Structure 1
Amino acid sequence: MGERTIIVTGGFGALGRVVAHAFAAQGDHVVRVDFAPTAPDVMAGGVDMGGVDLTDAAAVDTLIGTITKQTGGIDVLVNIAGGFTWETVADGSPAAWHKMHAMNVITAVTITRAALPALKSAKAGRVINIGAGAALQAAAGMGAYAASKAGVHRFTEALAAELAGSAITVNAVLPSTIDTPANRADMPDADTSTWVTPRAIADVITYLASPAARAISGALIPVAHGSPD
């Protein structure tokens, strides 16, 4: 495939780091973007851009301008940045709904919109979003989170339709609970049999970014088969 430029938002997190390293292992040039100021690890040959508020359109325009100036273009955008909350409607606050919408939907929309000109100039642009299996039918306490991830699903479908006929594909992966140390600590008694590892999700994402997936666009792909790496 040759060296491509890959942007991974939420690139300093548990999933983002694994996805970034998976692309780097293929020989791609990876730019990790995150709200956190610094990464907890080092990625050889890549670039880290921390302290970025992806809900700030002006800041994101500057970010994309910097990336394209340094790399010459953008081939793949992986939107992992986001957040989670659990609270019931009765005991929660409308603020949680605003926060989840901003963290999960607006972050993806803002950077994707800014990156579209560069993606359109790429030989085969790719946008890959992180949805959620939990957004297909919301459980108690999951309203705000599920609604925001459902927004990611609709954003994915709409953008894919808008770009039909172009060389850009737009898809979303819908993981079940991701097997991370934080989730195991938060849910020590949970049944982890359907949890998916970051590596398994990264495998799906790198496939969707490959030429083999050129005919797939507008898909919401469940990633929920628990299996060891």
Structure 2
Amino acid sequence: MTSPIKVALVTGASGALGSAVVMHLLDQGYQVVALERRPEKIQERFGDANARLLALACDVTDTASCKAACAEATQRFGRIDVLCNIAGGFSMGPSIAEDAIAQYEHLMALNAGSVFKMMHCVVPTMVAQRAGSIVNVGAQSALTGQASMTAYCASKSAVIRMTESFAAEFKSQGVRVNCVLPRTIDTPQNRKDMPDADFTQWTSPEKIAQTMGFLASEQSAAVNGASVAV
């Protein structure tokens, strides 16, 4: 009997890391549901040649939008096997700057709130299946506090603690939760923003995607609640 094709949800799917993860999962045979606030960005990035790629509109900071996207994916495919929480953002600046409060609220909502909301919406389906794997994106810079990066470090540190907490809560029901901790990702935007940096010390989106693919797969069945530096 042929096993059903596995279904993976990817947030932030049109970005540098998100698109690398989408391509890796497609190469591994998944049905990929790419979530973006503007799904036309998925069309611009990937075209419409792959029948195993579905773009859905989703604002990951909005609970109703997350629930609607997860419900549509489940209705279409009958299952959700993998969730890759990639949507996020970065900004820095003095914590007493005029816009510091707005920066804090934005990064906590985008980096931390979105991860909680997506896991909250996806886990019931995975529990019903008694199987599922969630891979979040934290940051190595969140392991300790950094000057002028309070909001960012706080939001990504929250992702690590949520990963551990969800992993502990649902491990007996077949759901695994892990996260990767990148340093600087080698993207065109980062090269533009930091032209004097040593790019050879940065990690490519493709290599991070391979690590996330491993954590999503049954090859990592014994790994749960881990924060993997990449």
TM tier relative to shorter chain:
over 0.9
Q: Partner of 2:103: helix, strand, or coil?
A: helix
Instruction: Give, in whole Å, the separation in 2 of the partners of 1:174 and 1:198.
Output: 12
Aligned to 1:130: 137
Aligned to 2:27: 25
Aligned to 2:124: 117
1:148-227 mapped onto 2 (5 Å cutoff): 148-223=155-230
Aligned to 1:90: 96
Aligned to 2:54: 47
Instruction: Give, in whole Å, the separation in 1 of the partners of 2:171 and 2:183.
Output: 28
Aligned to 1:80: 86
Residue from 75, 88, 92 that aligns with 1:69: 75
For structure 2, the residue ranges without an aligned partner over 5 or more in a row are: none
How high is the TM-score relative to the length of structure 1? 0.92
Instruction: Give, in whole Å, the separation in 2 of the partners of 1:110 and 1:119.
Output: 15
Aligned to 1:226: none
1:2-13 mapped onto 2 (5 Å cutoff): 3-13=5-15
1:135-150 mapped onto 2 (5 Å cutoff): 135-150=142-157
Post-superposition CA distance 1:88-140 (Å, at most 9, x none): 11325211111100000111111111111111233530010000011012322
8 Å Cα contact 2:59/2:66 also seen in 1? yes
State the AA in 2 paired with 1:105.
A
Instruction: Give, in whole Å, the separation in 2 of the partners of 1:155 and 1:216.
Output: 16
Instruction: Give, in whole Å, the separation in 2 of the partners of 1:222 and 1:35.
Output: 28
Q: 1:2 to 1:177 in 2, by over 3 A?
A: farther
8 Å Cα contact 1:126/1:169 also seen in 2? yes
For structure 1, the residue ranges without an aligned partner over 5 or more in a row are: 224-229
Post-superposition CA distance 1:181-205 (Å, at most 9, x none): 0000010001223211000001101
State the AA in 2 paired with 1:26.
Q
How high is the TM-score relative to the length of structure 2? 0.92
State the AA in 2 paired with 1:93.
A
Instruction: Give, in whole Å, the separation in 2 of the partners of 1:177 and 1:64.
Output: 30
More helix by share: 2
Instruction: Give, in whole Å, the separation in 2 of the partners of 1:139 and 1:56.
Output: 29
Identity of aligned residues (%): 37
Instruction: Give, in whole Å, the separation in 1 of the partners of 2:34 and 2:133.
Output: 16
8 Å Cα contact 1:12/1:36 also seen in 2? no
Q: 1:6 to 1:37 in 2, by over 3 A?
A: closer
8 Å Cα contact 2:130/2:173 also seen in 1? no
Post-superposition CA distance 1:145-173 (Å, at most 9, x none): 11100000010011011112221110000
